[in-house]
């Protein structure tokens, strides 16, 4: 079966997902596109044989030739579009964040539970990264004992000088580690704190870069996450879990190690698309397979809600310099504990 996909939001990641569905993955075809910028939607659809442009997201969701919906619009539009897809009974892949507030995410969770079956997958692609999957396997193997703490680093080369706020260091960047540690340790984050190191002179006025995000897991595992969005030298994501009798760390991702002129080294990815290209491929392939099979297996609407709740606590911690507990409702039985 070929899953006929309608894409809402033909911006940077929307176009990247269209490319992978059309040219890299199997089992899917993009048949419809919508964007608030109709000209952009038209340009993108022109490169897709047989694809149509819809004037509104609602029209695309209601198109009988669209089997499944991919939401890659900007965050504030996600809630309405995901709720409409659930209402139409169509599987929906939604880029992170599921919605910008935990209240909006809860409305999506409630709608999906009322619908009676899972149809939402959220774009937390790090769960599909081979390095993190090997790290999770090493932890579950038990040979290095119980995890005690984790060090993370999330460094971007730069962010635009205008429009990128200190809050976005948490809601846009650290949210990936927030989801990752919930999945890696199989438990919820219970509290957050933010530390503000010396501010980089390369950061735009008003941007406090870098930050240290500290997350407390339910078991007591403590996570520190350095998030530095103007690190300058490349896109560098690191992770090391310290356990009772060993540690497990992400390996360097360069394809080769070059030794010359008395030096040895590798390549630093240029950006997040470069670093996680295979993870993005794997998450969308997984989604297409699940849609074709009539199931939903990846990060769920519950995971989207949990990440939003932790983000809320981090943002409050940023404002108050306090340790802020995470407030999360009881998880409905509807959502399995372990997600792939």
Contact string (CB under 6 A) for ligand NAP, positions 76-115, x = contact = -x-----------------xx-------------------
CB of 279 to ligand NAP, least distance (A): 9
Contacting residue, 3, 44, 53, 57, with ligand NAP by CB under 6 A:
57
Q: For ligand NAP, which is the closer residue by CB, 170 or 248?
A: 170
Q: For ligand NAP, which is the closer residue by CB, 59 or 216?
A: 59
Under the binding rule (CB under 6 A), the answer on residue 73 touching ligand NAP is yes
Binding to ligand NAP, residues 178-217 (CB under 6 A): none
CB of 37 to ligand NAP, least distance (A): 4
Q: Contact, 45 vs 18, CB < 8 A?
A: no
Q: Contact, 71 vs 92, CB < 8 A?
A: yes
Give the contacts of 287 (CB within 8 A, at least 6 positions apart).
68, 91, 93, 121, 298
Under the binding rule (CB under 6 A), the answer on residue 74 touching ligand NAP is yes
Under the binding rule (CB under 6 A), the answer on residue 37 touching ligand NAP is yes
Under the binding rule (CB under 6 A), the answer on residue 14 touching ligand NAP is yes
CB of 320 to ligand NAP, least distance (A): 25
Contacting residue, 1, 2, 12, 145, with ligand NAP by CB under 6 A:
12
Q: For ligand NAP, which is the closer residue by CB, 74 or 195?
A: 74
Contacting residue, 18, 99, 104, 125, with ligand NAP by CB under 6 A:
125
Contact string (CB under 6 A) for ligand NAP, positions 244-283, x = contact = ----------------------------x-----------
Q: For ligand NAP, which is the closer residue by CB, 55 or 293?
A: 55
Under the binding rule (CB under 6 A), the answer on residue 134 touching ligand NAP is no
CB of 219 to ligand NAP, least distance (A): 27
Q: For ligand NAP, which is the closer residue by CB, 4 or 176?
A: 176
HEC letters along the chain? CCEEEEEECCCHHHHHHHHHHHHHCCCEEEEEEECCCHHHHHHHHHCCCCCEECCCHHHHHHCCCCCEEEECCCHHHHHHHHHHHHHCCCCEEECCCCCCCHHHHHHHHHHHHHHCCCCEEECCHHHHCHHHHHHHHHHHHCCCCCEEEEEEEEECCCCCCCCCCHHHHHHHHHHHHHHHHHHHHCCCEEEEEEECCCCCCCCCCCCCCCEEEEEEECCCCEEEEEEECCCCCCCEEEEEEEECCEEEECCCCCCCCEEECCEEECCCCCCHHHHCHHHHHHHHHHHHHHHHHCCCCCCCHHHHHHHHHHHHHHHHHHHHCCCEECCCCCCCCCCCCCCC
Contacting residue, 35, 179, 226, 312, with ligand NAP by CB under 6 A:
35
Under the binding rule (CB under 6 A), the answer on residue 10 touching ligand NAP is yes
Report which of 318, 278, 288, 235 is spatially closest to residue 133, judged by C-alpha positions. 278
The residue nearest ligand NAP at its CB is: 11
Side-by-side strand order, sheet with 246-249: 246-249, 236-243, 147-155, 222-228, 211-217, 189-195, 324-325
Contacting residue, 5, 33, 44, 75, with ligand NAP by CB under 6 A:
75
Under the binding rule (CB under 6 A), the answer on residue 34 touching ligand NAP is yes
Name the residues that contact ligand NAP, by CB under 6 A. Answer: 8-14, 34-37, 40, 57, 72-75, 77, 95-96, 123, 125, 272
């Amino acid at each position: 079966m070929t899953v006929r996909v309608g894409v809402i939001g033909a911006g940077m990641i929307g176009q990247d997902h269209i490319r992978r569905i059309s040219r890299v993955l199997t089992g899917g075809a993009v048949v419809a596109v919508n964007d608030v910028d109709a000209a952009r939607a038209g340009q993108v659809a022109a490169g897709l044989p047989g694809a149509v442009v819809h004037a509104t997201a609602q029209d695309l969701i209601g198109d009988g030739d669209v089997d499944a919906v991919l939401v890659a619009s900007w965050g504030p539009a996600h809630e309405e579009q995901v709720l409409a897809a659930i209402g139409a009974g169509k599987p929906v892949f939604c880029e992170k964040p599921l919605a910008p507030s935990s209240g909006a995410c809860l409305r999506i969770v409630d709608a999906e539970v009322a619908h009676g079956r899972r149809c939402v997958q959220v774009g937390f692609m790090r769960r599909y990264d081979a390095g993190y999957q090997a790290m999770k396997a090493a932890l579950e193997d038990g040979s290095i004992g119980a995890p005690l703490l984790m060090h993370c680093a999330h460094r971007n080369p730069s962010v635009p000088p205008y429009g990128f706020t200190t809050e976005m260091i948490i809601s846009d960047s650290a949210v990936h580690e927030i989801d990752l540690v919930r999945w890696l340790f199989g438990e919820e984050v219970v509290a957050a704190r933010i530390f503000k190191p010396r501010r980089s002179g390369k950061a735009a006025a008003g941007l406090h870069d870098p930050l240290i995000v500290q997350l407390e897991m339910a078991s007591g595992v403590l996570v520190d996450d350095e998030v530095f969005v103007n690190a300058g030298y490349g896109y560098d994501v690191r992770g090391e879990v310290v356990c009772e009798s060993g540690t497990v760390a992400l390996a360097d991702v360069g394809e080769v190690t070059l030794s010359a002129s008395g030096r040895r080294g590798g390549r630093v990815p240029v950006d997040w698309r470069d670093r996680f290209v295979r993870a993005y491929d794997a998450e969308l392939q997984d989604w297409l397979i699940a849609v074709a099979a009539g199931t939903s297996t990846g990060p769920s609407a519950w995971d989207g809600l949990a990440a939003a709740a932790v983000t809320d606590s981090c943002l409050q911690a940023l404002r108050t310099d306090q340790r802020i507990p995470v407030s999360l409702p009881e998880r409905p039985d509807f959502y399995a504990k372990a997600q792939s």
